[in-house]
Amino acid sequence: LAIASLVVVLVLCLAGVTAVSMQVRCVDAAREAARLAARGDERSAVDAARRLAPSGARVQVHRDGDFLVATVEVHSKLLPALAIAARAVSAAESRQ
Protein backbone atom coordinates (compact mmCIF):
# COMPACT_ATOMS: atom_id res chain seq x y z
CA LEU A 1 0.00 0.00 0.00
CA ALA A 2 2.85 2.39 0.80
CA ILE A 3 4.53 1.82 -2.56
CA ALA A 4 1.25 2.33 -4.42
CA SER A 5 0.68 5.59 -2.55
CA LEU A 6 4.19 6.72 -3.37
CA VAL A 7 3.66 5.95 -7.06
CA VAL A 8 0.40 7.94 -7.07
CA VAL A 9 2.10 10.92 -5.42
CA LEU A 10 4.99 10.79 -7.89
CA VAL A 11 2.64 10.63 -10.88
CA LEU A 12 0.64 13.59 -9.56
CA CYS A 13 3.86 15.56 -9.02
CA LEU A 14 4.97 14.75 -12.56
CA ALA A 15 1.57 15.83 -13.89
CA GLY A 16 1.87 19.11 -11.97
CA VAL A 17 5.35 19.86 -13.27
CA THR A 18 4.21 19.03 -16.81
CA ALA A 19 1.20 21.33 -16.46
CA VAL A 20 3.40 24.21 -15.27
CA SER A 21 5.77 23.66 -18.19
CA MET A 22 2.86 23.65 -20.63
CA GLN A 23 1.49 26.85 -19.06
CA VAL A 24 4.83 28.62 -19.58
CA ARG A 25 4.91 27.51 -23.22
CA CYS A 26 1.32 28.73 -23.71
CA VAL A 27 2.20 32.13 -22.23
CA ASP A 28 5.23 32.43 -24.51
CA ALA A 29 3.21 31.41 -27.56
CA ALA A 30 0.35 33.82 -26.80
CA ARG A 31 2.75 36.70 -26.17
CA GLU A 32 4.60 36.13 -29.43
CA ALA A 33 1.35 35.77 -31.39
CA ALA A 34 -0.08 39.00 -29.97
CA ARG A 35 3.14 40.88 -30.71
CA LEU A 36 3.34 39.68 -34.32
CA ALA A 37 -0.37 40.24 -34.92
CA ALA A 38 -0.08 43.80 -33.60
CA ARG A 39 2.53 44.43 -36.31
CA GLY A 40 -0.02 43.35 -38.92
CA ASP A 41 1.23 39.83 -39.57
CA GLU A 42 -1.59 37.63 -38.26
CA ARG A 43 -0.68 34.60 -40.40
CA SER A 44 2.88 34.55 -39.05
CA ALA A 45 1.50 35.15 -35.57
CA VAL A 46 -0.55 31.96 -35.63
CA ASP A 47 2.30 29.97 -37.20
CA ALA A 48 4.79 31.17 -34.59
CA ALA A 49 2.39 30.43 -31.75
CA ARG A 50 1.84 26.89 -33.03
CA ARG A 51 5.60 26.32 -33.09
CA LEU A 52 6.05 27.61 -29.53
CA ALA A 53 2.93 26.09 -27.97
CA PRO A 54 2.69 22.49 -26.75
CA SER A 55 1.57 20.00 -29.39
CA GLY A 56 -2.17 19.89 -29.92
CA ALA A 57 -2.69 23.47 -28.74
CA ARG A 58 -5.51 25.58 -30.15
CA VAL A 59 -4.32 29.05 -31.21
CA GLN A 60 -6.66 31.97 -31.91
CA VAL A 61 -5.90 35.58 -32.76
CA HIS A 62 -8.65 38.17 -33.01
CA ARG A 63 -9.02 41.93 -33.07
CA ASP A 64 -10.82 43.70 -30.22
CA GLY A 65 -11.03 47.36 -31.17
CA ASP A 66 -7.50 48.76 -31.24
CA PHE A 67 -6.07 45.62 -29.64
CA LEU A 68 -5.12 42.17 -30.85
CA VAL A 69 -5.80 39.25 -28.54
CA ALA A 70 -4.02 35.91 -28.83
CA THR A 71 -5.31 32.86 -26.97
CA VAL A 72 -3.53 29.53 -26.69
CA GLU A 73 -5.26 26.54 -25.06
CA VAL A 74 -4.21 22.92 -24.63
CA HIS A 75 -5.18 19.90 -22.54
CA SER A 76 -2.55 17.88 -20.72
CA LYS A 77 -2.38 14.16 -21.45
CA LEU A 78 -1.76 13.42 -17.76
CA LEU A 79 -4.58 15.72 -16.57
CA PRO A 80 -7.08 15.76 -19.47
CA ALA A 81 -9.79 17.53 -17.47
CA LEU A 82 -7.47 20.50 -16.90
CA ALA A 83 -7.51 23.15 -19.62
CA ILE A 84 -4.21 25.02 -19.73
CA ALA A 85 -4.58 28.40 -21.40
CA ALA A 86 -2.93 31.77 -21.80
CA ARG A 87 -4.08 35.05 -23.31
CA ALA A 88 -1.97 38.00 -24.41
CA VAL A 89 -3.12 41.43 -25.58
CA SER A 90 -1.17 43.90 -27.67
CA ALA A 91 -2.08 47.33 -29.02
CA ALA A 92 -2.30 47.38 -32.81
CA GLU A 93 0.53 49.37 -34.35
CA SER A 94 -0.50 52.12 -36.73
CA ARG A 95 0.41 51.56 -40.36
CA GLN A 96 2.21 54.50 -41.89
Split into its structural domains, the chain has a count of 1
Q: Give the largest CA-CA distance in the chain.
A: 69
Question: Model confidence over 19-65: pLDDT tens digits?
Answer: 999 999 999 999 999 999 999 988 999 999 999 999 999 999 999 99
Q: Which residues pair with 88 in a beta bridge?
A: 70
| Distance in angstroms (rounded) separating the CA atoms of residues 90 and 69 | 7
Q: Is residue 30 part of a domain?
A: yes
Q: Is residue 7 part of a domain?
A: yes
CA distances from 88 to 1, 14, 39, 46, 55 (A): 45, 27, 14, 13, 19
What pLDDT score does 94 carry?
A: 78
Structural domain boundaries, residue 32? 2-91
Instruction: For the sheet with 67-75, list strands across it.
Output: 58-64, 67-75, 83-91
What pLDDT score does 55 carry?
A: 94
